[in-house]
Amino acid sequence: MPFLYAQSLAATWLAASVPQRSASSEARLHGICMLIASQLEPTYARTVYPCFDEPAMKATFNIRIVHDPSYVALSNMPAIDVSEMKDENGSLWRVTTFNTTLKMSTYLTAFVICDFDYVTRTERGNEIRIWARKEAVKNGYVDYALNITGQIFSFLEDLLNVSYPLPKTDLVALPDFGAGAMENWGLMTFQESSLMYLPSDKFTSRKAMIAIIVSHEIGHQWFGNLVTMNWWNDLWLNEGLASYFEYLGATFVEPKLSLDKIFSDHVVQPVLREDNEIGVRSLSESEDKIKGSLMSLFDSITYNKGASVTWMLSGFLTEKLFIRALTLYLKEFSFLNADQDDLWTHIQMVVDAQDEVQLPASVKQIMDSWTCQNGFPVLTLNLTTGTISQEQFLNKKNGNSTNSYNNTWIIPISWMRNGSSQPLVWLDKSSKVFPEMQVPESEYDWVLLNVNLSGYYRVNYDQLNLKRLLRLLENDPKAIPAVSRFQLIDDVFALTEFGYIQIETALELTKYLAREDELFIWNLVLLNLVPENLESTLKNYEVYPLLKKYLLKRMLPIYHYYAGFIRENVDALEDDYFAQVYLEKLFATACWLGLQDCLNLSSELFAKWMENPEYKIPFLIRRTVCCYGVAVGSDKEWNFAWEMYNHTDTTKEDKDILLSAMSCAKESWLLYRYLQYGLSDALFSCNCTSIIILSVVTKDIGHRIAWEFVTENWPLLSERYGKELLHDVLKVMGRFVNTDVQIQELQVFYNTTLEEDERVATTLLLEFTKFENMERRELLTKVANWLQKNVDD
């Protein structure tokens, strides 16, 4: 379903099937293009036609659409007849009749009525058509999608050994589609940006995004469409498996993408950050536990945890056995429904039929421990005794005593010793001794668990092993695989945040970074050391000059490597996916830390743009260049940014960048003027005022100015944006609240503007923020003390 699990749109195509006065004819007279598209997952089919709208109640569908003759109608199957009819007013209508569908769930029926054009190609008897606005088709914007769609279909057919059963597949690019993308059988729908690629764009990141999304929806043709979950409580069988195969398909058509790095960075790491609160649900729930809207199931647990657990399963079974089991499962349940036990049964059949892979328990016992329990484990290794223990990873700072949670998992542990991969071992109880992992204190041997993040868990090493890993990183970082370095850093910062280890331990692991050349690892480090929401407040602490000295010393090698490309030949980075995704954060941090070369580079590129408005600042660092071009400039640079913002040719993306950049000004009067401009009709009507206020309030010199502006103009702002704006502003202002006096100052204002219940909620918010700030100050004092001792290392 909705890729990115966005809000589903209710189906609105019913009007197209009922002859009435031709609104579209009138619309055409006024130059308006009309478009109707359906989105029926999860339970909107019932709002369109009478049906038993349950995924297990599969049926065949005969679909006929009556529509304006100047439009084309599309549905799941090919059209078999097109005729015309007149209604009682004498208006002419076209009737498109489609072939009977295969047996399928109601939520997959789909309809589009549009006046789009298409490009087409036939792959193994499957007629593939990509539909989009005529101009976009003519300019070649959907050619890339056409090139990869057939390849991904063939790749999955060959991999799974199950043929695609439809004679045609339409992919439609919709200008506005809240669901992101939808896998309707034979008629997939996409947000335009998910399907269109400008031929002039040399960089692979856009291609990669399109390949990932298209691959996800094609994966659903097997997992979801051919075999559907019995009910929504096992939605992960659709979405988790499609999210796993999306990366296999994308790296097949874009082989320069690194599968394990992208999967770890985009899928496993983000969900490990979310799946650790007591209230988070398990991957598979019993039906009676599903309360409220089904839309809440379309979340990162279903998608990312589902894909991560699938990745782990494929890893310990071997991909060969895993795919063999999936083929059995797909053939057994084609045009039917299944639950997760059916999948486990078919994997078990394959495991039982061979003797290469031995499991410590049944597939069901192993996998239920991952899908039917919430959260995940953290493993603790004692190198001296070779003992590994497990417990649920929970926030110890919240008073969560892990003793009260008896969750245990059956855990596959991939590991290496001194750089050599070792045979997989299993932890199937709360603690176990592994003699092969015992390393005496006198030796230099090191052990690494969960190599390349193959398992869905975190690892907590004892000080002995951590010291050895740290020594290894400083001498030879490449001895540890890149994904394992990424995971080591992510684990230590998460363990710090949740009270398992001290911040000093995590900081020790950053000493080697001058030798780290992987941008996705640097991005992770910077997100932990310089979180975006704290940039404005960190400058108020004594930690800033120390952090500046410590970090810049380590950042310079990778900064200069990429700055060289920016200055000399940015096109040489066209295949460097992570540079396109994460270089911005590296450069923004370098400028924020006051690196003179970064500030100079921003000024140079911004000046170049001012001299020639046709010049394009490299998109990899455009946001940073615009921000610091304005910051180190005067009103001249600011006025140019304002002029370009108002320029009719400026794209929406560049307008967003400029809207933010103008809040980077370092002179108070410019910020105040900017906020005043925000009240002008043009900006006020496009709802940009609140964006401007929130941009200014997050800047180190802007938060007081923005607060004064909000209080002075509250009647007007309140009428336009309501209490939500005040709530957002207060959340940011809260970062600067350290004393009761500061809270009272804010209270004076909102006591006169909010209702009593809102006042209580806001006071609680500020009290909580003050507590958070006190905790942060303690933490930053520890960081500052550590930096003081290590800044010259």
- Active-site residue set: 217, 303
E strand or H helix that includes residue 552? helix 543-568
Per-residue tokens: 149: 């769609």
470-478 LR contacts (CB < 8 Å, sep 24+):
470/508, 470/509, 470/511, 470/512, 471/444, 472/446, 473/509, 473/511, 473/512, 473/515, 474/511, 474/512, 474/515, 477/512, 477/515, 477/516
User: What three-state secondary structure class fits 446?
Assistant: coil
Question: What torsion do the CA atoms of 184, 185, 190, 194 make, to the nearest 10 degrees?
Answer: 130
The residue with tokens 């003759």 is: 69
Residue position matching structure tokens 């933010």: 660
CB 644 within 8 A of CB 650: yes
Length reported for the chain: 793
Rg, the chain, Cα only: 28
End-to-end Cα spacing for the chain:
51
User: How many alpha carbons lie under 13 Å from residue 411 in its C-beta half-sphere?
Assistant: 30
Contacts of 363 (CB under 8 A, 6+ apart): 344, 347, 348, 351
Residue 596 burial (CB count, 10 A): 9
The CA-CA-CA angle for residues 542, 548, 552, to 5°, reads: 165
704: Cβ contacts below 8 Å, ≥ 6 apart = none
Residue 392: alpha-carbon gap to chain centroid:
25
The DSSP output letter for 764 is H
Beta bridge partners of 338: 229
Query: 417 pairs with which residues across the strands?
Result: 420, 447
Distances (CA, A) of 730 to 117, 260, 699, 739, 772: 49, 41, 14, 15, 14
631 contacts 665 by C-beta, under 8 angstroms: yes
d(CA 364, CA 339): 12
CA distance 542 to 520: 28
Residue 537: Cβ-neighbour burial (10 angstroms; 0-12, 13-18, 19+): buried
Strand-pairing partners, residue 384, are: none
Segment (H or E) for 114: strand 111-114
Structure token pair of residue 424? 């997989």
- Tokens representing 231 are 């009910």
Closest by alpha carbon to 673, among 681, 663, 686, 658? 663
DSSP class of residue 460?
A: E
- Residue 258 CA to residue 62 CA, distance in Å, equals 44
Q: How far is CA 87 from the centre of its chain?
A: 49
The rounded distance, in Å, linking the Cα atoms of 516 and 32 is: 54
* DSSP assignment letter at 254: S
Partners of residue 81 on adjacent β-strands: 97
Q: CA–CA separation, 255 vs 263, rounded Å? A: 14
681: Cβ contacts below 8 Å, ≥ 6 apart: none
Backbone region of residue 336 per phi and psi (left: phi > 0; alpha: psi in -120 to 50; beta: other values) = beta
**Region for residue 419 given its phi and psi (left: phi exceeds 0; alpha: psi -120 to 50; beta: otherwise):** left
